[in-house]
Structure 1
Amino acid sequence: MGQRADNISPKAPARPLGGIVRAGVVTALAIAFVAASVGFVYFLSQLRGAETAPERQADGIVVLTGGSSRISDAMELLAAGYGKRLLISGVHPTNDANDISRSLPDSQLLMGCCVDLDHSAVNTRSNAAETRRWARERGFKSLIVVTSNYHMPRAIVELAHAMPEIELIPFAVVGEKWRDEPWWTSGATLRLLLSEYVKYVAAELRVRLADLGLDLTPELPDQPGGASPRRPATAQAN
């Protein structure tokens, strides 16, 4: 009996699978956090802290609505001869040229001759689709893009994907709040930047997948004359 017991080898200790899984999860989360932090820093590096005149003139100008002073800055660029025509993309369906003229009295002549309104766009992606249709109808090969500095990276991603043959010249609008205080001292500004960063990453991923032939959310084809469905009156762009 004693000899038989001696021949029985002891059981190997059980592998700590739970600990390995936990370590793997923690490592993955740490890598994701570092990657997100590096990406956020890169995103911030693209944001301009001051408004600078476009490097040169372009065929046209497009302004994406949704932020303060975007339209007025775009009108100033048009008046200065930086483009032949201006597209205001994402105008609320209940607003027309007269509403904009009343808010910008000095722009009435330009509104009558050189400004087009897009009421169809509901987000940055549809801004890009409507801008592409407008630019192609007029044979434009270069555009000055006017939008807020925090929105510019995502806008350029969407516009460049929609019309890679057209040169894009960014003009970033810098709001008063951005100039008055550092973004990291304002909870509201920080939340805005984090939200925009997430949207920017999502746009980058979707565009890169589409370039590989994996377009999970294909856009509707261009419709002539801007006949795409109009958004509800309560919708807002960008």
Structure 2
Amino acid sequence: MTTRLFKPPAYRMSARSREEIVQAIMSITTRHDYPLSFNVKVYDADLSLKNLLRHWREYEGKSGTYDPRWLKEVASRYDQHEGSLFEWGLEGARRHFTGDYEDTFQMLWDGTELRVDYGFSGRGGGWLVILEFEGHRFARMQVTLQEYLTEMPWRDLKHLYQLCLMLHHDTAPDKRKSEVEHSAAFDFFANICNDIKQEAVQLDLFDTPEVIAELALSGKYPDDDYTPIVKPFVIN
């Protein structure tokens, strides 16, 4: 039985002819220092501790992350490193193109493998650029992008169009904002807070874990004589 892959609507090719595809590529890429550029600037990432915790719980689950003593120490380290979080988030997001996870955008949605060389340009590296695609180098071109694409082999042109559709969708403002937040959360908790002991605890019969977390982050809980009751782990 053959499994059919579902193509996300944003990845669907509306252009069909060579002329239409060339115009589509021109319209969804931005001319900057390089012919094929995508604006990846991030201005409004929410790097509050509360939001970083939300992202971290998506990675690790909730066990232990409501322990008030752990939360109080996390809050202390957050105050020490808050100024570095945005840069960590940017660096983590860029790894999908030029770092540890650079194979993320080396294939199309259907698994078709590509050879792509990416870079970042502009002030603060706010533009993602395609430097080379399947042997086609776009830096220092001797002709216009439109002229070059018009002569590009059909298979390469079609795949470039599909890649540009993916990048246009996956680097949209909401996507890049979320990726920066995820990356900052991972670097902070996995690297800065990884040595803080966590307990899975039964905190209070009356307050919810969320209420206890709010109190702990504000330094109001627990009292010095607080002793957590560790939940037993039951193996079925």
Larger radius of gyration, structure 1 or 2? 1
On whether the aligned pair clears a TM of 0.5, the verdict is no
> Which TM bucket (shorter chain)?
under 0.3
TM-score where L is the length of structure 1: 0.25
TM-score where L is the length of structure 2: 0.25
- Relative contact order (alpha carbons < 8 A, sep ≥ 6): 1 or 2 greater? 2
